Amino acid sequence: MLTGGGDCPGLNAVIRSVARRSFQRGHEVVGVRDGWRGLVEDELEPLGPREISGLLPRGGTILGTTRTNPYKLEGGVERVRETFERAVIDALVAIGGEDTLGVAARLHDEYAFPVVGVPKTIDNDLSGTDYTFGFDTAVFIATEAIDRLHTTAESHNRVMAVEVMGRHTGWIAVMSGIAGGADVILIPEQPISVEEACAELQKRHERGKDFSIVVVSEGYKLTYDSGEQREVTQEAELDQFGHVRLGGVGEQLARGIEERTGFETRVTVLGHVQRGGSPTARDRVLATRYGLKAADLVHEGRFGRMAALHGDAIVDVSLADATTELKTVPPDWYEVARAFFG
C-alpha cells in the first residue's frame, strides 16, 4: 500500500481496513514509504496487526507521503518495477488523488501493473466517485472556523474573508460556505467579479447587517468587471505534477473589498489546518468501506480499478476514467450557495 500527494484525514483508516481484510485472507501486507518515492527508492516496511492498531482516529498517514512522480525521474518507472519484482509484490493499493492515481492508471495501462486505487483528497475533485474521503473532515473544520468568525465579525462590524483550500475546484468553499451561512462565496468554476461580490456586501449592509462572511477558494482568480483575471500564487515553481503553490488570494480580496466598500475587512487563511487531525465519523466509515473494496479488488485480481462511492453504494470504476478530468462544482451546487448571498 502507498499513500501519495497531500495527506488527509482517513488515510490511516484505509490502511487499517485494507490490511485487516487482507490478513483475514492470509495475505502479507507491506507499506511503501512516502508514496511513489518508496517504490522508486525501494523503501518498504512490513505491516502487521501491531502496526495497524489504533489507526481509526489518527490523522495523517503512518506511511508518509510525497508528491514524487516516477514519470518525472530518470529511470523512475523502471525502478518502481524493479522494487516490485525484488520484493515479490503481487498487488499495489494506491491511496491518492488525481496525481497519485494518474500514475497508477498509467502504469496499469502501459505495463499491466497490478494496481487498484482508493480516492483520497480534501478537495473532492476526483471524477468517478461522488465523494473522496477527507473532504467531509475539511468541510467540518472550515465550517467550524466560519462559525467562530461569525461571532467576532458581528462584534466588530467587520467583513471576514476566509480563504479555504481546494486548488482548481471550489468544493470546500461551497459546502462550508453553505453550512456556515457565507454571504458571498468565490470559487474558480464560477468566477463572479470582485465588484459583484462588493455589491452583494453593500446590499446586505443596506438591509441593516453590519458584518459579513466571505469565503474564497484559494484557486479563485481575482476577476474584475474589466475582464482582467489574476491567479494568486505563493511561488512560481511547479511541483512534479505541474502544480503551483496557491495561497494569498484572501488577502488581496480583502484589500479590494475594503477599498471599494469602506467596510473594515480582515482575512483568515485556514491552510493546512483543514488537512490535519482526526477524521470525522463519516470519513472514517467511508475510508473503511473503500479499504474493504480495495482489498476485494486485489483478491479478485481486478486491477486498474478504483473503489468509488455512487449514491450510498461502494462500487468500482476504471482508474483511467477517474483520472482523465477533474470533477468541478456544477452550476446547480453554486446556485444553492448563491441563494443566500447578500
**Angstrom distance (rounded) from CA 47 to CA 53:** 10
**Shortest distance, CB of residue 166 to ligand F6P, whole angstroms?**
5
Pick the closer one to ligand F6P by CB: 246 or 306.
246
Q: Give whichever of 151 and 234 is closer to ligand F6P, judged by the CB atom.
A: 234
145 contacts 325 by C-beta, under 8 angstroms: no
Catalytic residue among 123, 125, 136, 296: 123
Q: Least CB distance from residue 102 to ligand F6P, whole Å?
A: 13
DSSP state for residue 271 in the 8-state scheme? G
- Tracing cell 484505509 back to the chain, one arrives at 14
In the bound state, the residue with its beta carbon closest to ligand F6P is 165
Q: How far is the CB of 242 from ligand F6P (least distance, A)?
A: 13
* Ramachandran bin of 213, using left for φ above 0, alpha for ψ from -120 to 50, beta for the remaining angles: beta
Instruction: Report how far residue 30's alpha carbon sits from residue 279's, in angstroms, rounded to the nearest whole number.
Output: 24
Question: If we measure between CA atoms, which residue out of 262, 166, 149, 139 comes closest to residue 213?
Answer: 149
Element (H, E) at 30: strand 29-32
Q: Which residues of this protein are in contact with ligand F6P, per CB under 6 A? A: 6, 97, 121-123, 165-167, 218, 245-246, 275
Quote the least distance from Cβ 280 to ligand F6P, whole Å: 17
Annotation says 7 is catalytic: no
Identity of the residue, 135 or 263, whose beta carbon is nearer to ligand F6P in the bound complex: 135
Min dist. Cβ of residue 121 to ligand F6P (A)? 5
Considering only CA atoms, give the Rg of the chain: 21
Nearer to ligand F6P, 276 or 342 (CB): 276
Q: What are phi and psi of 269, to 5 degrees?
A: -105, 115
Cβ atoms of 107 and 320 closer than 8 Å? no
Q: Which residues are part of the catalytic machinery?
A: 123
